[in-house]
């Protein structure tokens, strides 16, 4: 399912949160949404999820105008902080959400078990949610977003509070969802993780989106016997240029011990926003 948003705007009283936002989400691809605090990213995600009405602009799904109902049915939404019913267990929470999507009770229970296993919370599934750590609640939030097998997956700072292992697993889980045909957008301040995850990047500042322009990646080159401090950084335009550069080094007989991309240019694109520190 392809979502296209054009000219979205939303204000709260006299405060414009989203001024003009354009975004295209396509099946099988992960889009990184990058910008400083207060740029309007969370408001934009709420608009895309059908949880806020835009003041202006359009949202279409596969070319047809999308109302709140179709958006909510198609989307999986993960906020930056997942509020839980602390008196319920994770299994009960997931079953409740599954039932809200009209899933029969036996199927809802099976789906809850499946998702708890996916996010490694099976052993906590029948304990009160109040016992979960911050990172465990984030993983439960991801499971909740996946309940309805969404064709559109919207995530706001999904790795916040997660330990390194959970962050790696999150990346793998999102890649699996994309391979299954979901269109995904991830808002995050962790640029290094978006470097590894995002197929496309949209920058947002002052309530306005803009595509990330062309950037130059940096590659770390170290020859055998060289100390770490003497490794060189080489700027190369793309993977093809990197492959050609490595081939030339090897053809010259140089003993290349390390050839690693250390930046895709996302940090450079972010700094070019000229956004104020927040």
> Which DSSP symbol is given to 228?
G
Question: How far is Cα 91 from Cα 78, in angstroms, rounded to an integer?
Answer: 17
Burial environment of residue 111 by CB neighbours within 10 A (0 to 12, 13 to 18, 19 or more): buried
C-alpha 250/C-alpha 248 separation (Å) is 5
**What are the pLDDT tens digits along the chain (278 aa)?**
899 999 999 999 999 999 999 999 999 999 999 888 889 999 999 999 999 999 999 999 999 988 888 888 899 999 987 777 888 999 999 999 999 999 999 999 999 999 999 999 999 999 999 999 988 999 999 999 999 999 999 999 998 888 888 888 998 999 999 999 999 999 987 777 777 788 888 999 999 998 776 666 788 999 999 998 899 989 887 788 999 999 999 999 999 999 988 766 677 677 666 555 55
What is the distance between the alpha carbons of residues 152 and 178, in angstroms, rounded to a whole number? 10
Whether the pTM exceeds 0.95: the reply is: no
pLDDT given for residue 272 in this prediction: 67
SS3 of the chain: helix, strand, coil, percent, to 5: 35, 30, 35
């Amino acid at each position: 399912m392809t979502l296209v948003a054009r000219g979205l705007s939303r204000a709260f009283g006299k405060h414009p949160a989203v001024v003009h936002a354009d975004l295209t989400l396509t099946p099988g691809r992960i889009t990184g949404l990058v910008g400083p605090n207060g740029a309007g990213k969370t408001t934009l995600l709420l608009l895309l999820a059908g949880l806020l009405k835009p003041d202006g602009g359009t949202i279409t799904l596969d070319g047809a105008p999308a109302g709140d109902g179709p958006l909510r049915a198609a989307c999986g939404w993960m906020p930056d902080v997942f509020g839980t019913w602390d008196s319920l267990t994770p299994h009960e929470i997931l079953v409740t959400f599954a039932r809200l999507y009209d899933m029969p009770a036996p199927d809802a229970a099976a789906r809850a078990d499946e998702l708890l296993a996916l996010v490694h919370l099976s052993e906590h599934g029948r304990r009160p949610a109040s016992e979960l750590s911050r990172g465990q609640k984030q993983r439960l939030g991801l499971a909740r977003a996946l309940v309805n097998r969404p064709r559109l997956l919207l995530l706001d700072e999904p790795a916040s509070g997660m330990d390194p292992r959970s962050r790696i697993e999150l990346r793998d889980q999102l890649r699996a969802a994309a391979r299954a045909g979901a269109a995904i957008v991830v808002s995050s301040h962790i640029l290094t993780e978006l470097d590894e995850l995002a197929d496309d990047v949209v920058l947002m500042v002052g309530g306005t989106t803009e595509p990330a322009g062309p950037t130059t990646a940096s590659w770390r080159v170290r020859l055998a016997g060289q100390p770490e401090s003497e490794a060189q950084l080489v700027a190369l335009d793309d993977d093809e240029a990197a492959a050609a550069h490595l081939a030339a080094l090897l053809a010259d007989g140089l003993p290349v011990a390390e050839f690693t991309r250390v930046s895709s240019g996302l940090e450079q694109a972010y700094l070019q926003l000229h956004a104020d520190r927040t």
